[in-house]
């Protein structure tokens, strides 16, 4: 059973996008979500509504990034000789932890 999610607000989407992708967040987020940058900008400005499924996708993406960041930090703490560099898994349409 899929949960129903409230659509992301423009502010939520911009905040998550900046945290996940930095300065070029609109382009990167549009690529991950399979839409145009213009649609992302329209949502950000309140001129369009984000699909409700995007909330779960962005949550899953944020969780995946957090896991990779923790793995990287762990590898750095262990030292270069023992570290296995974490390679990012491909972005999935389904949220991993939601």
- pLDDT, one tens digit per residue, over 1-60 is 466 889 999 999 999 999 999 999 999 999 999 999 999 999 999 999 999 999 999 999
Q: Rounded distance, CA 3 to CA 83, Å?
A: 38
Rounded Cα distance, 76 and 91, in Å: 24
CA-CA distances (angstroms) from residue 1 to 20, 44, 59, 66, 88? 28, 29, 18, 26, 28
Question: For a pLDDT cut of 90, what percent of the chain falls above it?
Answer: 69
Which of 26 and 83 is assigned the larger pLDDT? 26
Where are the domains positioned within the chain? 10-78
pLDDT of residue 40: 97
């Amino acid at each position: 059973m899929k949960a129903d999610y409230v659509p992301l607000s423009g502010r939520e989407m911009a905040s998550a996008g900046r945290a996940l992708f930095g300065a070029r967040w609109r382009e990167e987020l549009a690529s991950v979500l399979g839409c145009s940058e213009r649609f992302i900008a329209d949502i950000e400005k309140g001129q369009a509504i984000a699909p409700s499924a995007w909330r779960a996708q962005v949550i899953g993406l944020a969780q995946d990034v957090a896991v990779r960041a923790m793995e990287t930090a762990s590898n750095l703490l262990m030292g270069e000789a023992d570290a296995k560099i974490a390679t990012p898994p491909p972005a999935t349409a389904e949220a991993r932890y939601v």
